Structures are given as C-alpha cells and as structure tokens.
Structure 1
Amino acid sequence: MASFASNVQAKAQEVAKEDYEKAKVLLSDAARSGAYLYPFKGIFYFATHRSLWRPFYSRILPTLGLTAGVLGSMFLFTYLPQLAILVFVNGPLAVFTTVLLILNESSTIINIISRNFLLQDALLDTFDGTLVAQNATDIVSEGRQLKSGSDPIARLGKILKSPFSKFTPKALVRYVMYLPLNFIPVVGTVIFILLQGRSRGSSVHGRYFQLKGWSSAQQKDWLQRHTSPYATFGTIATLLEMIPVLSMFFAFTNTVGAALWAADIEQKNSQMTQGTAPSLRESAKKAE
C-alpha cells in the first residue's frame, strides 16, 4: 500500500513537472513574441490617428444602444438566478463572480450581434486602414481596391475578398460547454476567460490570413505553432471588451492592435518571423 501511494505521488510530481515545463515554454513564447503588447498598442495608435475614427463614429450610436440594452436585460433578468446558483459553490465571492460571468455573457451576445450585423464592415475598414497606414499596401491590395491619397480610410475602395468570417455555431456551442467552469470558485472563472481568450485569439488574424491567401491548413499550422502569442492577445482583448460601455471602443482598438501585429509580421519586424528560434523561422517560411 505504501509502495502504491509513493508511486502515485511520484507520478503526480512527474506530471506536474511536465505541465510546469510546458507552461514555462508557452509563457516564454508569449513574452518573446510581444503579442501581449498589441492590444495596448492598438489603444494608443487608435487614439493618436484620427483618420481611423470614421468607421467607429459611423457605428457608435446603434452599438451603444445595443450594449445598454443587453447589459441592462442581463443584469435585470439573469443576475439573481445565476447568483442563487453560484452562491452554493463560490460562497460570498459569488457576488463578484456572477458579475464577471454576466459581463462575459453580455460581451459574447453583443459580439455575436454587433459583429454580424452592425460592426463587420466598420471593423474591416479599420483593419485594412491600419495596414495601409503602416505602409502594408501590397497585402491590402490583394483584398480590395486602393485609391490614391494620404488618408488611409479614404484610400479604401471596393472589397475584392469577402470580409471577416461571421460567428460560427461551433463557437457558440464551445462557449456554452465552458460555462459550467464558473461553478468552480475563482479558478473556474479564470480558466473560463482564458479559454475564451484562446478561442478569440485564433480569429484575430482572420482577415490577414485571407489577404495572404492562406489555405485552412496553412492557417491551422501557423496558429498551432504560435498558440501562446495568439492566446495571450485573445485573453487581453477579451478582458478589455468585457468592460461595460467601453466594449465597442475596445473592439476597434483590438482590431487596430491585430492589424499592427499583422503589419509587423508582414514586414518581418516580429519575433515570430525574425526570432533566433529556428522553429519560428521555419514556421513563417512554411506558412508563406
């Protein structure tokens, strides 16, 4: 019996060590890529480039109305029922974890509606306009006509390739599957947000991959080789868009950040394509 217990303990230590090493590698990749900085770069760049504000202004009123309606309805009709459930597993912390859960649920609902019906064209123009502002006109010209001039948004012409993919049923199913994690006190909510961030991260460069003309296999290969950077970007983007009222603003700044990141990758200014690690260079070469 003692021998069995010692074997189990040794195996548990071995598994914990392996998981720790994997986590260390992922965190190292994320830090080296600088992906965690791009959501914040997007905020600064958007704030200092007025030419990019036009798509944002064109959708601000209907999106704010949608945000207010969804948040108000969610807190009015779902806060107490969800609190009653979470209080059994989270105790006094349920007051806060329920708020986080509702903010995440509301953010998801707002994203589904706004990105499919209100913001799709505006976010597309913002992404392409940021690439133009970063002199990545060659890649943008693969997906839309470009006019002459100095204003990056005014230069955007007819779309030649269809815009961002819409929210898929698979993503909604995955979201619902992960919801029960919130029953685990604190840690469950953190894991839930991280999983949402990972899912969000895999879609932030959908337009870039489209402009590159990459196949599904190439996209999958690239994302698998750079899981940690995209998960990091996606997690920070998710947290920013969970902030009430400002979620729309951060949807645009996150789009700008994703475009800045794409421009750096395209111009080989990113550790992901110019790093010392051979696997990163091979990944970029293979994907291209």
Structure 2
Amino acid sequence: MVVIVPSSYPAQGIVYMLGHPSLFKHLICPLFLTILWGIAALIFGFAYLLKLQAHALIEVKCPAAVAWIVCIIFVLLEVAVLSILFYLIILPIYQDTLFDRVLKLRGLKHVLKRNEGNDVVKCMRGVSGGLWILLFQIMVLIITLPVNVIPVLGQMAFATVNGWVLTFGLRFHYDAEIRNITVLQSRREAWQRRKEYTGFGAVGVGLEMIPLANLLFVWTNIVGAALWVADEIEQEESRMQQEQASHGLMGAAEAGSYHPGNQFQMTAQMHAPSFSQQQDPYFAQQQQSSLSSPYAHQGSARIPPRDKKHPEV
C-alpha cells in the first residue's frame, strides 16, 4: 500500500508531468491567452496610461524626467498585475481539465463516469465556489504579503498560511464536481485536514515563488494534487475490496459449516435419552412399552378401536 505523504506530491507532480508530455498541451492555450492579454495591456498602458499619469505628476510640480521614469515603472507594474489577475481568472478553467486528465492516466476514468450528471448544478457550484476561493486567495495573499520583508522566516510563514488556501483551491474541483459535496462541506473537511493541506500547500507555494519557473510549477502543483487524490481513491477502493473479500470468505465459511446430515444428527441428539434417564428403571420400562406399542411411531397419540365382541359399558 502506498504511504501518502502530502508534502511530497508537489515534487511528484513535477516528475509525473515531465514523464507525460501529453499533459503539456493543457498549458498552451492559457499561456497563449495570457501572453496576448499582456501584450494588449502593455500597448494600452504605454499608449494611454503612461501619458495620463505622467501629466498628472507634472501638474503637481514633479520634475518631468522623474515623472516619466516613475510612470514607466508604474505602467510595467500595472501590466504585470493585470496579467497575473487574468491568468488566475482563466487558470481554474484549464486546471480542472488537467486534473481530470491525470485521473484518467491513473486508470480512474470510472470515477469520473460514476459522478456524471447534474452538470448545471455542478457548474454553478464550481463557478461560485471557485470565485469565492479566488477572492479568498487574493485577500490572504494581500494580508500576508508584508511578512516577506522578514528574511527566511517571513517566506516560511507566507508559504504556510497561503499553502492551506492553495490546497483547498486545487482540491475543490474534486470535492464539488466529482464527490458532489457543497462548498461548506469541502471547507470543513479542508480545515479538519489542515495539517495535510498545509504540508502540501507550503511546498507548492514555495515552488510558485520562484520567478519564471513558477509558470510551470503552477501546473505541476495541479498534477501533484491529482496524484494525491488518485492515491486516496485507490486506497479506498482497495480497502473496500478487502472488506468485500473478507465478508465473502465469512459467508462461505458459514455456508460450508451447514450439511444436510447435520439436521438429522441434531434431531437425534435432541430426542436421545440422557444418561440419567438411561439409569432410571421407570424410564426404561416406559421406553420398552412404547417400542412394543403399535402406535409408538405415529405422529400423535391414538386410542385403539373398541372391541365389538366385548364392548365397554
């Protein structure tokens, strides 16, 4: 049986994705759309926002050279923020497809088929829950961002706090659209298993904090979460099969203990005289008389017919 260590699955996701190149096709579309969005935002920023912001600073008596330099930096930051937000918004759409693809590669296609149906309900639950989780992630990210000023310990605290939120978001698709549980039930389970969720998420957030490489690690974390879920499903199915096998063996043992001859043996034992009765002379006399009687083997006691020659008065 596989030992589940949640903190190891982000690394397993990297290895698994590199070993299955077919998974990379799920990255092409969102990255391409994000690049297009970034280029459009960059053009809009330098064509419109740069002049607007620079003139605003110049009007408040800011030196022109300083105003233009500051505004260029502002525009680049604004474009980066807009690109990240766009990427985070479209990411859940494609991460669910990647998640399901990993389950299929692990031979768990039957789990997805078994939970088909009520697509409208699942879609509404997934969209509403996904938006709530996204807003929650952004809020926690903004609140905990200042702790990164503290060297090492600040980054560890940041990864730990945001790690639980990250894991909750990655596994929500499985909870809402495969297990068919509500957002409240998913959140309650995530909090009950916060040690496991934090262990996985802390490593995942740490990987996503690496510049440029985080564009890949965002996806490998999804693969890692899917591998974690796949191992849990396989363990649960294995446990259920063992229980069914044990129940089957118990039923076969109980059926094998029954034999048609046993019933006659038990009946004979019930009607057999005890040792004390065998030693009793009165019982022996009654038994002998019953054996000599022509009615001893009848189902009930019978009275012999009257003698016609000597009728009773």
In which range does the TM-score fall when normalised by the shorter chain?
0.5 to 0.7
Correspondences of 1:133-148 after superposition (within 5 Å): 133-141=105-113
SS in 2 for 1:161: helix
Q: Quick one: distance in 2 between partners of 1:263 and 1:59?
A: 25
Q: State the match for 1:161 in structure 2.
A: 122
SS in 2 for 1:245: coil
Q: Does 1:55 align with 2:26?
A: yes
Q: State the match for 2:13 in structure 1.
A: 42
Q: Quick one: distance in 1 between partners of 2:223 and 2:160?
A: 22
Q: Quick one: distance in 2 between partners of 1:246 and 1:205?
A: 22
**Residues 204 and 250 of structure 1: is their aligned pair in 2 closer, same or farther, counting only changes over 3 Å?**
same
Q: Quick one: distance in 2 between partners of 1:190 and 1:57?
A: 31
Q: State the match for 1:171 in structure 2.
A: 137
Correspondences of 1:1-288 after superposition (within 5 Å): 33-63=4-34, 112-117=85-90, 119-141=91-113, 161-162=122-123, 163=126, 165-166=130-131, 167-210=133-176, 211-268=178-235
Higher relative contact order (CA 8 A, sep 6+): 1
**Residues 160 and 133 of structure 1: is their aligned pair in 2 closer, same or farther, counting only changes over 3 Å?**
farther
TM-score by length of 1: 0.57
Shift of 1:269: 6.5
Q: Quick one: distance in 2 between partners of 1:183 and 1:142?
A: 48
Asked whether the 8 Å contact 1:209–1:219 carries over to 2, the reply is yes
Tell me how large the CA RMSD over aligned residues is: 3.8
Larger gyration radius, structure 1 or structure 2: 2
SS in 1 for 2:170: coil
TM-score by length of 2: 0.53
Give the letter for the 2:108 counterpart. A
Asked whether the 8 Å contact 1:179–1:192 carries over to 2, the reply is yes
Q: Quick one: distance in 2 between partners of 1:160 and 1:55?
A: 25
Q: Quick one: distance in 2 between partners of 1:62 and 1:142?
A: 33
**Residues 108 and 175 of structure 1: is their aligned pair in 2 closer, same or farther, counting only changes over 3 Å?**
farther
Q: Quick one: distance in 1 between partners of 2:169 and 2:138?
A: 14
The number of aligned residues is 197
Give % identity.
23
Structure 1 residue ranges without an equivalent (≥5) = 1-31, 74-105, 146-157, 275-288
